Amino acid sequence: MIIIMLGAPATGKGTVASILSESFSIPQISTGDMFREQIKQGTELGKLADSYMSKGNLVPDEVTIKIIEERLQQNDTKNGAILDGFPRTIKQAEELDKILTSHNKQVDLVIDLVSSEEEIIERMANRRVCSNQNCKAVFNTVLNPPKQEGICDKCGSDLIKRKDDNVETIKNRLSTYEQNTSPLVDYYKQKGILRVEEVSQKKGRMGIDVAKDIERTCKW
Ligand code: ADP
Ligand code: ZN
């Protein structure tokens, strides 16, 4: 089964994706993580991606589609995948449909996480990620703090703030989302595979609660 995580930055896509990845035994594929890995390794692709990501702009479609196409050829995706952060444009969604059709697959479910701008900005400001590329655990200094400040509970590595989680970039990421990615909501609604889920700390409904509901109601 192929699941897509939609939703503005810091709505909890990664959290929901990692829980579902374990319970459905299919890999979580995050284009943001793939780009960050390339940046860390200092590759040409990494340098190119960084020039867009650091400003809160989207990496060009050709580049992004190519890395997803290659990733979906790997054997661990034979039973499906959870795409976390892809597609982000109509062009990417159309190309994804073509790639999946050529593998006799299709998008089965699209989870759209919705949250207020106020909560999104707060979550981004408080987000800390594990610096260990093989761990990638995500914490929140207020909502989900690590046991020891600045240290990952899972692997003991240092926690860091993502370079693009700063006030200036956040605003641009939100408007990029509105402009380029939100049209995908209608694209998938028309296909009848969209599931909208609200994420709100005020209402006591976080990514983990959404994931549990989806586990309960989607039996594969
Ligand atoms: P978030 O959802 O919090 O913004 P991501 O890790 O998904 O975090 O994305 C970080 C950045 O990586 C984006 O702002 C964008 O620059 C780039 N990126 C990730 N996925 C894509 C994509 N599908 N198309 C274009 N750019 C992408
Ligand atoms: Zn860790």
Does residue 220 register a pLDDT over 70? no
**Mean of pLDDT values over 47-60:** 96
Residues whose beta carbons lie less than 5 angstroms from ion ligand 2: 130, 132, 135, 137, 152, 154-155, 157
Share of the chain above pLDDT 90, in %: 90
Of 164, 165, 169, the one to substitute when testing ligand 1's pocket (max ligand atoms within 8 A of C-beta) is 164
Rounded mean pLDDT of the chain? Answer: 95
**Mean of pLDDT values over 199-214:** 93
What residues are in contact with ligand 1 under a 6 Å CB criterion?
9-10, 13, 30-32, 35, 52-53, 56-59, 64, 85-88, 92, 164, 173
Does residue 14 register a pLDDT over 70? yes
**Mean of pLDDT values over 184-199:** 97
Of 13, 15, 35, the one to substitute when testing ligand 1's pocket (max ligand atoms within 8 A of C-beta) is 35
Category of 60 on φ-ψ map: left (φ > 0), alpha (ψ -120 to 50) or beta: beta
Yes or no: say if 93 and 6 are a contact pair by the CB < 8 Å rule: no
Q: Distance between CA atoms of 99 and 65, rounded to whole angstroms?
A: 10
Q: Distance between CA atoms of 124 and 89, rounded to whole angstroms?
A: 22
Confidence at residue 90, expressed as pLDDT on a 0 to 100 scale? 98
Residue range(s) defining the domain that contains residue 140: 2-217
Yes or no: say if 27 and 105 are a contact pair by the CB < 8 Å rule: no
Confidence at residue 26, expressed as pLDDT on a 0 to 100 scale? 97
CA of 120, nearest ligand number: 1
Q: What is the pLDDT of residues 64-73, one digit of tens each?
A: 999 999 999 9
Q: For the chain, what is the domain count?
A: 1
Residue 8 CA to ligand 1 center (angstroms) comes to 10
Of 173, 175, 178, the one to substitute when testing ligand 1's pocket (max ligand atoms within 8 A of C-beta) is 173
pLDDT band for position 218 (cuts 50, 70, 90):
confident
Q: What is the pLDDT of residues 148-177, one digit of tens each?
A: 999 999 999 999 999 899 888 988 999 999
**Mean of pLDDT values over 132-148:** 91
* Statement: the pTM of the whole predicted model exceeds 0.85: yes
pLDDT band for position 136 (cuts 50, 70, 90):
confident
b/e 90-99 (16+ beta carbons within 10 angstroms → b) = eebbebbbee
CATH code for the domain in which residue 72 is found: 3.40.50.300
Ligand 1, atom 16, lies closest to the CA of 53
For tokens 């595979």, the residue is 193
Residue 193 CA to ligand 2 center (angstroms) comes to 34
